[in-house]
Structure 1
Amino acid sequence: MTCPEELKKVAAVILALLLRSAFQGAHCELVVSPVGPTLVNVMAGSNVTLAVSFSGAPDPVVTWIRGILPVATWTLNSSEAPDIDMNGRDVLRLEKDGSLTFVNVPLSYDSNYTVEMTKSGLGKAFTSFTLKIFETLQNVTLNTQPDFAEEGSDVFTLHYSMLRGVVQHQVWFFNGGEIKNDSHHLMEQESLSILGPNRSDTGEYAVLLTNPFSNATARTNVAVRYGPDEPKLETHPPQIFYVSGESLNLTCQSDGFPQPTPVWTFGDEILSDSHEGVLSLMNVSATQGGDYVCTLLNEDTKERREKTLRLRIYERPLGDPTCSVDSLNSTGLLFHCGWMGGTPPAELSFPAISASNNGLGDFSVTLEASDSLNGRNIQCIAKHKLDSRSCNITTRSPLKFVPFVRTIVDNDGKIVVTVQCLSEASPEAVVSWSRGGQAVSSGTTHHISGDTTLLSIRHVNASYFLLQNYTCTCSNPLGSHSREIQLQGPSISRSSLFPNQDGTIITLTWEVPNASVVTGFDIQMKGPQLQSNAPNATRTKAGSDGFRTIQRKTGLDRKTDVFVLDPKSTYRFRIIPKARLTPGEPSEVHRIGPGDGLSGPAIAGIAAGIPCSLLFLLLLCCLIYLCVSYCKKKNNQTPYPVTRAVEKTKAAQPDKSPHILLAGGLKSPPDYNRLHRAPSERFVDLPTFVPPPPVRVATTV
């Protein structure tokens, strides 16, 4: 090999290492993986290692977990010793690469093991192993429970036992054929159960036990014994009684060899549809309840045995119990409770009324009406074998009510006003009608319904109904309540207008007094013509100055929609109630659209407000002037008070020149005002003050 070729190989190795380092740095991921299989089978007492490898980070923290408990922890290449569970220090060893070694592994270390590796700044990596520890199988034997198999018994079980060993797989055989789990065989740990053994289960049974290091087989013969015995009758599912509609099986079994043949009879009829002692009854009814007899005959011994089974089939009563109370001769109360159907019939009673009396299926009790029964809750208790229920009824005198009035026009063009009076009462209230103190009976003008709650009044003229007073009285044995109805002409109590967001559609709603006789409504509008829904329709602005009818509604309507409106125009709407051809007072007027400008009163108000505003401004200016004048005058006054002696001096000496007596050589007093001048105003030194000599002054009058 030449030198250049060696250099090329070295360069390739270096390049590969660089690429591997770059790849690991780019991924920055800690990876741990098993070295070898993850399912490890080992003999007890040997050494085994759960080997792992990792990449992506140096010296990670390794933790081995047995099941859910950690057993060993170590930071790879750390100077500190691995932290191993105290109970496993004689068995467990933690290798430098993170692998876990078992020394003389005992059977108790059979478990699942998980290794977790972590590194700061990286995610957690882990992998799992399953360690199976076995021993050599030795001295396997088979036992039966009970000692002998009996046909008709619930279960027959074969158990295996051994001196030592660990079983990984078990296979059961019957007469050389492998047994599978089915409805007749149930394989469990260390056992095989034969469910409902019969004579066909007689033969050789064997079990093959294996593990990865050894296997063993055990055999035994099972003989199912028969002999005539007392028949065993059962119901499946086992219950004391059954409900109509359910399905069940009747079984008849007896020990004997050969197998006896069972026959079922019900009454005098032989039921031929039974099979091997099992009689299936599907969707049973109450008529199928009674005594069923199973007869068994041994064909060899000719011995006959029979046994009777009583089958109880109950049928639940229909629905729920019902309670009611009715009036009896206007003074008595008849309480009734019923829960029909059912086998046997339900037992009914009213404990609050009569604790000793009861009935089956249907029961009634009579009481005289009294105040103590008003508002009282009476309960009926209904008891059946399948269920127990109750129903309640509260006796109550008629409560306050509001009569309901409805008006229509019949096919003859007559106005028909129907008044309905319904009051909550128990027993149901009977309604009587009167007008002006006189009883109302059915005739041409008036008609009372069969249940007395409706009174119909027919007349062609709307004025007939005005100010008519009717009285309805609801009564039962516990009391009565009356209500007067005064019919009135067509009217509207309240109305509203609701526009849509675009202002093109409005909804009118209105309410009518309960006693108002109304057969229809005229919807009137004032404003421009309504726009058409057609895309090329011409939009007109002009319209009638007065209200005009645009819709007619029936007496049952309470709302209507009007469209299409021009959002830039102003419309006014109102509703006219009518009793056939007789109109009532219109509703309030509702306006929609922009305003119509200032009204006359608004203009007059503005005109009157202008001079009032000017007059107010003038008064305000005068007030300000007076305040200013007063302040100036107050500022010009002497700040100090002048004594009366000074005022007298000023009046007696108006001349400010010196007195004539001073002319005789006396000097004038100094100018004291100069003393108060500023230093810049003083041109000479201040004179020395010399008080003048006393002067005697004589005054001649």
Structure 2
Amino acid sequence: MTRFGVFGRVRSIFLATFLTFSFQGAYCELGVSPAGPSLVNTKAGSNVTLAVRFSGALDPAVTWFKGNLPVVTWTVGSSAAPDISHREVLRIESDGSLTFVNVPLNYTGIYTIEITKSGMGKAATSFTLGVFETIENLEVSMQPSFVKEGTEQFTLRYKMSQGVVEQQMWFFNGREIETSLHFSIKQSSLVVFSPNRNDTGQYTALLTNPFSRVRAHFNVTVRYGPDEPVVKALPAQPFYVSGDSLSLRCQAEGFPQPIAEWVFGGETLSQSTDGVLNRTNIQTSQGGIYTCRMFNEETEEKRQKNITLSVYEMPSSSPKCSVHSVNGNVDLLYGCQWQGGTPKATLSFPDLSSGSGVGNFSLVLQPASADLNGKTVICMAVHPVQSKQCNITARSPRELLPAVRTTVDSEGKIVVAILCVSEASPEAVVSWSEGSKDVTNSTSYQISNDTTQLNIRHYNVSNFLLQNYTCICRNPLGSQRREIQLQGPLISHSSVFPNEDGTIITLTWEVPPRSVVTGFDIQLKGPDLNQNRIGIQNRSTSNKYRTIQQKPGSARSTDIFIIDPSKTRFFRVVPRALMTVGEPSESHRRGPAQGLSGPAIAGIAAGIPCSLLFLLLVGALIYLCVYCNKNQSRQTRYPVSRAVEKTITTQSDLTPHNLLTGELKSPPDYNRLHQTPSERSVALPTFVPPPPVRVATTV
């Protein structure tokens, strides 16, 4: 390359460079920017610099502003002193940067640097300076100090002894709180609107700045309740039986725990926080409405709840059924009652009607149907504790068995009481008649209140014997009729029973059921009972019956003492109706025999001719048998073995052994004594001898 070429090339490069700088100078702009971060945080009392760099000019005029207020003015590179408003804190560097010495807290703010150059305009940039202190002694408090559910709001505030908060955060039970309708985060506080029980817990305030991070906790308790109480009885049953034991429990949500108060019948029974009321051996009087009152001492709120306790008691004994005649003895009234108990039992007759009653139920059937005669009707008695039943059978009157009883009144009149009772359900009403006339109450006749007895009064027993009395028993299902003909004083049967040694005898007798008897004479024939002590008895007296005892008309036996068994005596009973004497009973002999009686001798005399005639007949019969045997022996006979047969005909002794000549009898039949009078008056069965026995002997 030639020398000229090299020079031309260098010249071209120089020219280009010159032109470039020339154009740049013509179009250059003034500029300033942070030499570091525009956000500067520092601790109070430390030194910090807001560093800048320039472009477009070498010595611009610099002005620093805090907000809109200039704090430093100076021209870079000038020898003149800068204009500084707070020289003890502020200092400008040679490059225009602003330095803070021992910066106080109140110098926190936005700082702006503005540079100017004549003919080049202005340039500016801003810094944010944060001056902080370490946060110390952070505390949280609440307003108001008492929070109740349903109030308007409560506020949590924090305070500290020193420090600058760059950011505050609130937490509830570890979860960050965000502003909402329920929570509002304000400067240094947290507001909780319409607090409820769910707002009870730990609240935390978290405060931070670039140089510290501090937490403070506060426990909030929201008082509430009591809520609606829950009451129950344990064991849970629809009802309880008298004598049972149980517990009443009342619980309700609340803080602090509400106090439960049990009230029954206007009386406070117990107060406790557990709300338990124990009842042992409970009675029906303790059944009813129990009220549980809940009270919160701090919220001063009250609630109450009732529980009804049903205590039942079984009715006493068992239900009773009955049937009566009503409406003139035409209709039937069925009744059923089961008294007592709590509550009353429900009664009904399912077979008769669908109706029911409580405690006492009656049902009238009009008119009484014949189908009810003998029909058993059941009453259903239903009680919550137990159900039972009873039954009743309505029957028409059955066959009548009239009874007659005789007494003597204070005026000396004979009183004959005729009792006419028939088995019937309902009880039969009795009407009386004498012959064809109805009997009504009068001087001679008196009918009992229940109409079953007719009393007849008269001095003379013969007046009773001339009349026929009729009783008619009737109820709604039928009637029975019976005529009664009275009899005079009679003895239907009598017996005598000695003791072991024969010194005491018991004389018993019976009277026909319709006989009118006011008394009895006990008579003796033979030696007096006390003859051994008073001497020899007159024979004429001992052969006649004489009265030794008198018994009233109700008597049916007597004991006779101090009898000498070695002497023969006769006893009998004579019935009386006042002065009227009836036929005596048979005579009963006690003691040894007195030889053959007249009838016995007559029997023997009549038996001798009969015996002779019987012997003649037997002889004739034997002769006839021998004669017939001889005629048969003349016929041709074949040889056969002969045997002698001998037949003996005997007859058992039919004559009774009269060893007990004193007419001793067997012990009494006590079953016979309990029979009805009509049955005891039947004659004893006669003795029938056994038939003759033939005995044959073969030789």
Contact kept in structure 2, 1:531 and 1:540, CA below 8 Å: no
- Equivalent residue in structure 2 for 1:568, among 566, 575, 578: 566
Post-superposition offset of 1:439: 0.6
Letter matched to residue 450 of structure 1: N
Pair 1:556-2:554 in alignment: yes
Give the corresponding residue for 1:505: 504
Contact kept in structure 2, 1:519 and 1:579, CA below 8 Å: yes
The within-5 A match list for 1:251-290 is: 251-252=249-250, 261-266=259-264, 269-272=267-270, 277-281=275-279, 284-290=282-288
Post-superposition offset of 1:231: 6.6
SS in 1 for 2:397: coil
- Structure-2 change in CA distance of 1:361 and 1:624 (3 Å): closer
Post-superposition offset of 1:580: 0.8
Post-superposition offset of 1:256: 9.1
Give the corresponding residue for 1:146: none
Contact kept in structure 1, 2:270 and 2:277, CA below 8 Å: no
Give the corresponding residue for 1:315: 313
Post-superposition offset of 1:257: 9.4
The whole-number CA distance in structure 2 between the counterparts of 1:632 and 1:402 is 74
Post-superposition offset of 1:274: 7.3
Post-superposition offset of 1:276: 6.1
Pair 1:384-2:368 in alignment: no
Letter matched to residue 486 of structure 1: Q
Post-superposition offset of 1:631: 12
Contact kept in structure 1, 2:259 and 2:271, CA below 8 Å: no
The whole-number CA distance in structure 2 between the counterparts of 1:626 and 1:448 is 81
- Structure-2 change in CA distance of 1:582 and 1:632 (3 Å): closer
Post-superposition offset of 1:510: 1.1
- Structure-2 change in CA distance of 1:248 and 1:326 (3 Å): farther
The whole-number CA distance in structure 2 between the counterparts of 1:623 and 1:428 is 75
- Structure-2 change in CA distance of 1:540 and 1:400 (3 Å): same
The whole-number CA distance in structure 2 between the counterparts of 1:391 and 1:615 is 79
Contact kept in structure 1, 2:490 and 2:511, CA below 8 Å: yes
Pair 1:592-2:559 in alignment: no
Deviations 1:359-383 (A, max 9, x none): 2233322221222222222222221
The whole-number CA distance in structure 1 between the counterparts of 2:456 and 2:632 is 92
Contact kept in structure 2, 1:529 and 1:540, CA below 8 Å: no
The whole-number CA distance in structure 2 between the counterparts of 1:582 and 1:377 is 51
Deviations 1:186-212 (A, max 9, x none): xxxxxxxxxxxxxxxxxxxxxxxxxxx
Give the corresponding residue for 2:344: 345
Post-superposition offset of 1:264: 1.0
Give the corresponding residue for 2:79: none
Give the corresponding residue for 2:361: 363
SS in 2 for 1:411: coil
Contact kept in structure 2, 1:403 and 1:422, CA below 8 Å: yes
Post-superposition offset of 1:283: 5.3
SS in 1 for 2:600: helix
Among all aligned residue pairs of Structure 1 and Structure 2, give the percentage whose two residues are the same amino acid: 59
Name stretches of at least 5 consecutive residues in structure 1 with no aligned partner. 1-226, 636-701
Post-superposition offset of 1:577: 0.5
Post-superposition offset of 1:603: 4.0
The within-5 A match list for 1:113-152 is: none
Contact kept in structure 1, 2:262 and 2:292, CA below 8 Å: yes
Give the corresponding residue for 2:520: 521
- Structure-2 change in CA distance of 1:256 and 1:541 (3 Å): farther
Letter matched to residue 558 of structure 1: R
The whole-number CA distance in structure 2 between the counterparts of 1:527 and 1:630 is 63
Deviations 1:558-595 (A, max 9, x none): 11111121111112111101001111011111112211
The whole-number CA distance in structure 1 between the counterparts of 2:456 and 2:522 is 27
Deviations 1:626-666 (A, max 9, x none): 9999999999xxxxxxxxxxxxxxxxxxxxxxxxxxxxxxx
SS in 2 for 1:595: coil
The whole-number CA distance in structure 1 between the counterparts of 2:628 and 2:320 is 100
Name stretches of at least 5 consecutive residues in structure 2 with no aligned partner. 1-224, 634-699
Contact kept in structure 1, 2:332 and 2:364, CA below 8 Å: yes
Pairwise CA RMSD = 4.0
Contact kept in structure 1, 2:258 and 2:273, CA below 8 Å: no
Give the corresponding residue for 1:354: 353
SS in 2 for 1:513: coil
The whole-number CA distance in structure 2 between the counterparts of 1:392 and 1:629 is 86
Give the corresponding residue for 2:579: 581
The whole-number CA distance in structure 2 between the counterparts of 1:415 and 1:382 is 52
Contact kept in structure 2, 1:409 and 1:415, CA below 8 Å: yes
Letter matched to residue 589 of structure 1: S
The within-5 A match list for 1:415-564 is: 415-531=414-530, 537=533, 544-564=542-562
The whole-number CA distance in structure 2 between the counterparts of 1:275 and 1:542 is 110
The whole-number CA distance in structure 2 between the counterparts of 1:311 and 1:467 is 75
SS in 2 for 1:465: helix
Post-superposition offset of 1:288: 3.5
Give the corresponding residue for 2:240: 242
The whole-number CA distance in structure 1 between the counterparts of 2:628 and 2:319 is 102
Contact kept in structure 2, 1:467 and 1:488, CA below 8 Å: no
Instruction: Give the length in aligned residue pairs.
Output: 407
The whole-number CA distance in structure 2 between the counterparts of 1:271 and 1:624 is 121
- Structure-2 change in CA distance of 1:261 and 1:491 (3 Å): same
Post-superposition offset of 1:523: 0.7
SS in 1 for 2:529: coil
The whole-number CA distance in structure 2 between the counterparts of 1:590 and 1:259 is 103
Post-superposition offset of 1:265: 2.2
- Structure-2 change in CA distance of 1:299 and 1:530 (3 Å): same
- Structure-2 change in CA distance of 1:256 and 1:275 (3 Å): closer
- Structure-2 change in CA distance of 1:308 and 1:436 (3 Å): closer
Contact kept in structure 2, 1:274 and 1:280, CA below 8 Å: no
Give the corresponding residue for 1:649: none
The whole-number CA distance in structure 2 between the counterparts of 1:398 and 1:632 is 80
- Structure-2 change in CA distance of 1:298 and 1:541 (3 Å): same
The whole-number CA distance in structure 2 between the counterparts of 1:629 and 1:333 is 90
Contact kept in structure 2, 1:264 and 1:274, CA below 8 Å: no
Deviations 1:165-223 (A, max 9, x none): xxxxxxxxxxxxxxxxxxxxxxxxxxxxxxxxxxxxxxxxxxxxxxxxxxxxxxxxxxx
- Structure-2 change in CA distance of 1:626 and 1:289 (3 Å): closer
The whole-number CA distance in structure 2 between the counterparts of 1:439 and 1:502 is 58
Greater shift in the superposed pair: 249-258 or 263-272: 249-258
Letter matched to residue 414 of structure 2: I
Give the corresponding residue for 2:330: 331
The whole-number CA distance in structure 2 between the counterparts of 1:302 and 1:423 is 80
- Structure-2 change in CA distance of 1:398 and 1:305 (3 Å): same
The whole-number CA distance in structure 1 between the counterparts of 2:392 and 2:229 is 54
- Structure-2 change in CA distance of 1:310 and 1:625 (3 Å): closer
Post-superposition offset of 1:611: 8.1
The whole-number CA distance in structure 1 between the counterparts of 2:315 and 2:626 is 107
Letter matched to residue 576 of structure 2: K
SS in 2 for 1:427: coil
The whole-number CA distance in structure 2 between the counterparts of 1:425 and 1:525 is 47
- Structure-2 change in CA distance of 1:494 and 1:615 (3 Å): closer
Deviations 1:241-264 (A, max 9, x none): 123455544344679998754311
The whole-number CA distance in structure 2 between the counterparts of 1:629 and 1:283 is 112
The whole-number CA distance in structure 2 between the counterparts of 1:518 and 1:440 is 23
Post-superposition offset of 1:464: 1.1
